[in-house]
Structure 1
Amino acid sequence: MTRPFEDSGTQNSSAAPSRPPAQATPSRPAAQSRPAAQSRPPAPSHPAVQGYRAAQGYPAAAGSAAALRSERPAPFSLRPDPEPLLINLARGYLETMAGAREPEQLARWLSDGAYRRLLKRVVLASRARAVTKRAAVMPTIIVDRVIVTEPNEGVIEAVVILHSRVRTRAVAVRLEGRGDRWRASAINVM
């Protein structure tokens, strides 16, 4: 299973151990390498690399957390409708807590603090499943309704009511506008 935020691992030809070139056989042609002009180094996605780059005065990458935090909020009308994101975040959060989804799949829509809280909750939930010897299963979730309010410009607070076989849950979500998109700064399951 591939993870959505992993780099494909482009390799630098100078760092690879030297081997004789592969012999072409009639059933399989020799592998062709990409020209050096088309290859690119992997993006610095590790927080330590990003912090070092920021300390050295490099500009923040376009999709990095630092660049998103520095963007000014855009008017509500320029951002997409928050309801589909709220539904997907609430459903994804419960699936992650059930062990059926990886937390990295929600990382792009969560602030740093919300993502750290999610990771802590996932560890606790996985320990609880291990103690009770329950397997991680994909929960059946039905969305009942979404209640959305806008307390301030560029801020959405919503409650998503979800039904599963076992119980009904309310998921409270706070979205903050960054540029032309929404990011969840808090998610609480009741």
Structure 2
Amino acid sequence: MPHAAHHSAVPAAALRTPAPNTAPQRGATATQRTGTQRGAGAQRGLGPRRRAGHLQAVPANPAAHAPAVVLPVPGERPPDLAPTPARIQRLALAAFEVLEGTRALGQLAGAVTPEVARTLKWRRTARTERRTLYGDQRVIVATPGPAHLSEPRPGVIEATVVLHARGRTSAVALRFELLGTHWRATHLTVL
């Protein structure tokens, strides 16, 4: 019977295994509290840091071990995101439409460099003269295929897009460069 009384006298909470005590013991040395040594035998570059009564080993230069985070400089605009395949398809189609005369060249002003805009303007003028000479009044509507991209080096993206139209296929080759904070098409050719 005393055996049964022993079981009923022990509360259930006492039967559970207690969690390990992670708090430092009063009177413990720095080595016992943090697992590191201080003084002449201490590991180079580590020093103690007090936080809520605990000592922690921290690197002498925490920034050297922190992940690289690029913070924007006040007053400066962060770089634009690289052009997506959908944006490249839209630009290729828009350039084709500029050459066909169904889109204004000014609509591409923010996406291309002035040199590319001058080249497109010259090619549109030549195409318009040829169409006028031959009396060609057709309006060609193209549909872009998938964009194929490559990045030969950081800050440069080269792409091609095939444009499909009834009875005709054209290819557009583009080169984008990060100029300052903006991605611009620095070369654009419609073949």
- Name the TM-score class by shorter chain: 0.5 to 0.7
How much is the aligned-residue C-alpha RMSD, in angstroms? 2.2
2:112 — aligned with what? Answer: 110
Looking at structure 1, the residues matched to 150 and 77 of structure 2 have their Cα atoms a distance apart, in angstroms, of 21
1:166 and 2:167 matched: yes
TM-score, normalised with respect to structure 2: 0.55
Give the whole-Å Cα distance in 1 for the aligned partners of 2:144 and 2:150: 18
The structure that has the greater radius of gyration is 2
**Aligned residue runs from structure 1 range 26-65, under 5 A:** none
| Corresponding residue to 2:121 among 108, 116, 119 | 119
Higher strand share: 2
Given that residues 96 and 103 in structure 1 are in contact (C-alpha distance below 8 angstroms), is that contact kept between their aligned partners in structure 2? yes
Give aligned pairs, total.
Answer: 116
TM-score by length of structure 1 reads: 0.55
Aligned match of 1:177? 178
| 1:84 to partner: Cα distance | 2.0
Unaligned runs of 5+ in 2: 1-75
The CA deviation string for residues 33-73 of structure 1, in whole angstroms up to 9 with x for no partner, is xxxxxxxxxxxxxxxxxxxxxxxxxxxxxxxxxxxxxx999
Measured after TM superposition, the shift of residue 108 of structure 1 is: 1.5
Of structures 1 and 2, the one with the larger relative CO (CA 8 A, separation 6+) is 1
Structure 1 counterpart SS, 2:102: coil
Does the 8 A contact of 2:149 with 2:159 survive in 1?
yes
2:98 corresponds to which residue? 96
Tell me, yes or no, if the aligned pair for 1:143 and 1:161 is still in contact at 8 Å.
Answer: yes
**For residue 155 of structure 1, what is the aligned residue in structure 2?**
156
Unaligned ranges ≥5, structure 1: 1-70
